[in-house]
Amino acid sequence: MAIRVPGVTHAKQILRQAKYLVNQSSSTSVNVPKGYVAVYVGENEMKRFVIPISFLSQPSFQELLRQVEEEFGFNHPMGGLTIPCSEDLFVDLTSSLNGP
């Protein structure tokens, strides 16, 4: 999976869509602290991760969201943001966003 930085306009659009999903799912989510969002990650079996909302503004995370949108759209049957990639890839990406 090649990571490219999307254009500013497209990044803003993805961020707006992700924030909409956060707001929409936060009213029905359980055990998600303020400032975080639950996402479901996996290729076959989905695992739930709770990540800081600040990740949504990171270029590498936005690129992942763009690729998910491009390939799968934003219809998420789990009721939250679904990211169909390997857990290892997701953990590597989010670990790099947390800093050293």
Contact yes or no for 79/46 (Cβ under 8 A)? no
Q: Between residues 92 and 20, which one has the greater pLDDT? A: 92
Inter-CA distances, 15 with 30, 43, 75, 78, 80, Å = 23, 23, 16, 20, 15
Quick one: pLDDT band at residue 85, thresholds 50, 70, 90?
confident
Q: Cβ(18)–Cβ(65) under 8 Å?
A: yes
Looking at per-residue pLDDT, the higher value among 17 and 8 belongs to: 17
Weakest mean pLDDT among 18-27, 41-50, 59-68: 18-27
Mean of pLDDT values over 2-31: 51
Q: Token match 């993805």: residue?
A: 14
For the beta sheet containing 36-41, the strands, ordered from the edge strand earlier in sequence to the opposite edge, are: 47-52, 36-41, 81-83
**From residue 11, how far is each of 22, 30, 32, 36 by CA, in Å?**
16, 28, 25, 20
- Spatial separation of the C-alpha atoms in residues 49 and 25, rounded to whole Å: 14
Residues 6+ apart with CB under 8 A from 23: none
